[in-house]
Amino acid sequence: MNEAGDALEPRELRAWMAFLAAGHLVDHEVERQLKRDGGLSHAEFEVLVRLRSAAGRRLRMSDLAREVMVSKSRLTYQVTQLERAGLVKRTGCPSDRRSVWAELTDDGAAALDRVRPGHRRVVREALVDVLTPEEIDLLGAALGRVADRLRER
């Protein structure tokens, strides 16, 4: 019934526009809180979060880039900034001398602790608390599938 290039149906269009708008607006809130409470961009925050939960609090640059979904050159810049702020440090990896470990410092962990409560509050207020538990589950399942599909390419 719908060819690939046809206009979206109203229901589809509504979903697409809501998806776009919610993405923009929520991210804007998140960005604002992180900047205000810790001087961090959202991407920088994500870097710290991933490092925190990694074994030995460290990851190789390219794995980190993959997880945070940023380009390699962008990550290089961000890690440089974080390093300058003392929140992360770089170490050479002995087994593969091409790669570089980015490692969370104690200051980095502390910075994370400082902003995380506010961050959670924003995620709650902007997204979680606005949805019913059923919606939460369905959102997780549906958008999880969307993300998985796009990752496996």
Q: Which residues bind its own copies (CB under 8 A)?
A: 2, 4-8, 11-12, 14-16, 18-19, 21-29, 69, 116-118, 120-121, 123-128, 130-131, 133, 135-147, 149-151
Closest approach, Cβ 70 to its own copies, in A, equals 9
Residue 102, Ramachandran bin (φ over 0: left; ψ between -120 and 50: alpha; else beta): beta
27, interface contact from its own copies, DNA, none, CB < 5-8 Å by kind: its own copies
Nearest Cα neighbor of 76 from 102, 49, 40 is: 102
Residue 99 binds DNA, judged by CB under 7 A? yes
Residue 77 binds DNA, judged by CB under 7 A? yes
8 Å CB contact between 68 and 75: yes
